[in-house]
Amino acid sequence: MKKLFLTIIISFAGFALSYVEKDINISSDLVEYKKSSNSILFKNNVEINSEYIFVTANEAIFDNDKDTISVYGNPSFIESNNPNSFFKGKAQKIIIYNDEKVHLIGDASMSYENINISSKKILFNPQTGNFTQQE
């Protein structure tokens, strides 16, 4: 099956994004625009690549109203693209915010440098390396 590739820079299909000066590259087997929810659905073999993160998942939804990308998998995986900050993580759901802050939700686990954590929810900033664990 042919993989589709999409680079979100400033706009796509009328979407005004606030990922200012940051490229978010998303590839998947299927891309579907949902006008009623003002969102874009990415399905099957999803890969998200940016300056700071690389994510693999089964499905992702870009929500223009919330300015987020919600990623779903069984689990979804995230790792660092920043050579100055090493981390790897996984969760049932990953939410990427417009400032690239990340929430790992549901059976979340993460390795950051020499620290390993597990929780229901982990809040993480891949730019600064700061994280918070929530039970």
Residue 108: count other Cβ atoms within 10 Å of its Cβ: 24
Owning domain of residue 127: 4-134
Question: Phi and psi (nearest 5°) for 83?
Answer: -65, -15
Q: What is the pLDDT of residue 8?
A: 44
Q: What is residue 14's predicted lDDT score, i.e. its pLDDT?
A: 31
Residue 48's contacts (CB-CB under 8 Å, 6 or more residues apart) are 24, 25, 26, 54, 55, 56, 57, 60, 69, 71, 96
Q: What is the pTM of this model?
A: 0.79
pLDDT for 24 equals 82
For the chain, residues with pLDDT lower than 70 are 1-22, 100, 133-135
The number of folded domains in the chain is 1
Half-sphere exposure of 87 (CA within 13 A, CB side): 28
What the block records as the tokens of 111 is: 């390795």
Q: Which CATH number covers residue 55?
A: 2.60.450.10
Give residue 12's pLDDT: 37
> pLDDT tens-digit profile of 108-122?
999 987 889 999 999
Q: Looking at residue 85, what DSSP letter applies?
A: S
Q: What integer pLDDT is reported at residue 22 of this predicted model?
A: 60
